[in-house]
Amino acid sequence: MNKIQQQKDKLRAQIKSIKGQHSLEDLALRSQEVLSVLEITGFFQDAKKIFIYNSLADEVQTIDFIHKWKDEKEFFLPVIKGDNIVFRKYIPNGELKQSSFGIQEPIGDDFTDYNKIDLIIVPGVAFDRKKNRLGRGKGYYDRFLKNLKMPKAGICFEFQLLDQLPVDQYDIPMDYIVSENDLIW
């Protein structure tokens, strides 16, 4: 294991420990704050078709946000397929199936017309003020994002926003980072 990978793994463990100090209720309140910052941005307001994630319990909670905006915007959620992610249209009250990661994923056809997507909202373990992202370590998002042109917005809790992250050539930076108290562009 190289030095950068060791640094990343250490940071993942540190952030996990910090998250563990917060109750799910606290993370839900913090999620509302993060998303209230996101929704007033021009890049969100202008977006009509959005790739977004269906959150795990320890991530910025997105499902209520998706429901809030479902009449004005079209959302697509990721589905794990082998070593990659694909996106499928989210249909409110539509059928979802639980993935091996415990994430509720939409059923249906893969969406592939990426030129029609206005924004992708990306989760992360941590972000930095240079708009770098640290994921969970499987590389799903980095592989997916490397050829995409639409704006990429990372959303996180304030304690996940660091001054600097270790990065390597595979890491894809964001265009925006949004937390409870910060908007970086």
pTM of the model as a whole: 0.92
What pLDDT is recorded for position 166? Answer: 94
How long is the chain?
185
Q: Give the end-to-end CA distance of the chain in Å, rounded to a whole number.
A: 33
Q: What is the pLDDT of residue 95?
A: 78
CA distance 55 to 33: 16
Query: Do residues 185 and 129 lie in contact, with contact meaning Cβ atoms separated by under 8 Å?
Result: no
Q: Mind listing the domains of the chain with CATH numbers?
A: 3-184 (3.40.50.10420)
Are 119 and 45 in contact by the 8 Å Cβ rule? The answer is: no
The pLDDT, as a whole number, for residue 1 is: 67
pLDDT the model gives residue 144: 93
Predicted local confidence at residue 104, as pLDDT: 84
pLDDT < 50 stretches in the chain: none
DSSP 138: S
Q: Whole-angstrom Cα distance, residue 105 to residue 47?
A: 22
Task: Give the pLDDT of residue 75.
Answer: 97
Which pairs count as long-range contacts for 110-116, CB under 8 Å and 24+ apart, including other chains?
Answer: 110/79, 110/81, 110/86, 111/76, 111/86, 111/87, 112/86, 114/148, 114/149, 114/150, 115/149, 116/49
Q: What is the pLDDT of residue 101?
A: 76
